[in-house]
Amino acid sequence: MRILGINAVFHDPAAALVVDGEPVAAAEEERFTRRKHGKSPVPFAAWEQPERSAAWCLAEAGLRPSDVDIVGFSYDPGLVQHELSGLDPEWEHLRTEFAGRAPWLLRSALPGLDPDGVRFVPHHVAHAASAGLAAPFGDCAVLTADGRGESTCGLLGQYRSGRLEVLAEQSLPGSLGLLYESLTAHLGFRRSSDEYDVMALAGYAKPTYLPDLTDLVRVGDDAQIRIDRLDWSRWAPPREPDGELLDEHAQLAASVQTRLEELLLELAGWLHRETGQPELAVAGGVALNCVANTRLAAEGPFDEVWVQPAAGDAGTALGAAMHLAAQAGERVRPMPAADLGRGFGEAELESALQAARLPYERPDDVATTAADSLARNEIVGWFQGRAEFGPRALGHRSLLAHPGHAENAERLNEVKGSERFRPVAPVVLAERAAEIFDRGPVPSPFMLFVHDVRSDWRQRIPAVVHVDGTARIQTVDRADEPLLARLLGEFAERTGLPTVINTSFNTAGRPMVDSPADALECFGSSPIDLLVLGPFVVRRAAIAW
């Protein structure tokens, strides 16, 4: 069967295609429209469909809209309970109305699509499928947590023989995601976007207010989270965007972050007791909190924890399609890797360079050329293969830099226009990871866990060490990513360091680059020294500006 998955209702609209149980394409709409997160997460925008990413997914498989057997829409408007707190009381009906009209909105966006083939998949069922069916385990426990779906904000269950058994659903208003989003806004950041900034800020302080939050946010014996009325101003004053960050802001971030970790551990303990499963798969926006993920892996009851690389709402497009494939009796294959997005052939890359009228070269080995540049402490834009699905740059759309110079963390944040306190992440050869990093799971190919940096390495790679002594690593297996592994090996030969900085190839407020044109635009507007575009390179020093 040819099943198209769609996420459209909240934020990060996306499309995915599963053919005969195998994920073949998945992409976020923001990569095509160049609008961060695709659209605003408000009820008025719920009519917008991911038409460009959906059209690309079908074209990638050589299909037309009329060839699609079923469409999975990752939201069921029939499950909305308008009286629940946690919903927008004045405008929620508008979101529900637009979601209910999705079959016809999709037909308009994709002429030839049969609206009768659209199936509504509950939001957290789609999240669960994106984890449990995509994970490399087979049978496993599954945990989801985010801001909200229709009337729930989390799910605890297990997969057996491809079928989901729901054991508990977290009801609104007990939402861990909305709790963290609310804090994000109070601290002057953009909610549903900058939660990673809050997690990073938490590393700068102690959880001073944790005793208060332990009383106010708790888990019952029924696995339901209960949140008493919270007034963040009790602990820290509200901050304007770009306003001064006070010690109280960092302490509040640390307190909420720690309480979030504790709550997830309690939920995982309940789930393990109910299922006895040795492995856990996790999804939902909360699962992008890599600090919490590490505590789940290190201190939780499960032998192994796998997190969906597109754990946020974008991943529900893939989950909705996988869920319907499993329901139809198809054997659903695990997610092979995160590179399910657009790719470009050499001719397309060279044509883009020629159109830009830039001097370019084709060296014998771009990995060696990039390693030379990095060893000279230059910044490299690295564009290879198919784009990643999800928010993490995993060596396909990356900015790379030398980790041995402490100032490079701030240097990259200046290039990208990010907050100076944000850490940058290292990519490391898988066979060398354990000698440099501790506590988090290895391998860690999707950059979804933090690891302690061993004390004897902290002075050698200071740019990737956060203030709390951790790093959010990506491990690279030579068999899976031979070109990136070769770059790391060449860099290690030149510097003695088997790791480089890897951050997303974009600037603040812009999506990660996706096409050659995007990469060239970012290269032209930021101080990147070397652009590696497939087998070609462009040197900033060679351009007559």
Both tokens assigned to 400 = 């790379």
DSSP notation for 23-41? EEEEEETHHHH--TTSS-S
CA distance 401 to 485: 15
CA distance 42 to 173: 18
CB 57 within 8 A of CB 72: no
Helix ranges (H only) for 133-237 are 176-186, 195-202, 210-216
Q: Where are the beta strands (DSSP E) in 228-354?
A: 279-283, 304-307
CA distance 124 to 130: 10
CA distance 443 to 269: 24
CA distance 468 to 462: 12
Residue 332 amino acid letter: V
Both tokens assigned to 397 = 């759309």
Spatial neighbors of 345 by CB under 8 A, at least 6 apart, are none
Spatial neighbors of 402 by CB under 8 A, at least 6 apart, are 374, 375, 377, 408, 463, 495, 497, 500, 501
CB 366 within 8 A of CB 393: no
Give all strands of the β-sheet with 450-453 in edge-to-edge order: 437-438, 450-453, 470-472
11 annotated active-site: yes
CA distance 149 to 220: 21
Spatial neighbors of 482 by CB under 8 A, at least 6 apart, are none
- Whether the ω angle into residue 445 lies within 30 degrees of 0, i.e. cis, is no
CB 145 within 8 A of CB 176: yes
End-to-end CA distance of the chain: 52
Best CA proximity match to 382, nearest among 474, 458, 252, 294: 474
Of the residues 11, 123, 323, 396, only one is catalytic, namely: 11
CA distance 238 to 217: 20
Can you tell me which residue has the tokens 């970790």?
Answer: 261
Are β-strands 380-383 and 397-401 bridged in parallel, bridged antiparallel, or unpaired?
antiparallel
In what helix (H) or strand (E) does residue 493 lie, and over which residues does it extend?
helix 482-495
Can you tell me which residue has the tokens 């057997």?
Answer: 69
CA distance 499 to 136: 26
Q: Which residues pair with 399 in a beta bridge?
A: 381, 503
DSSP notation for 411-439? HHHHHHT--TT---EEEEEGGGHHHHEES
Catalytic residue positions, numbered: 11
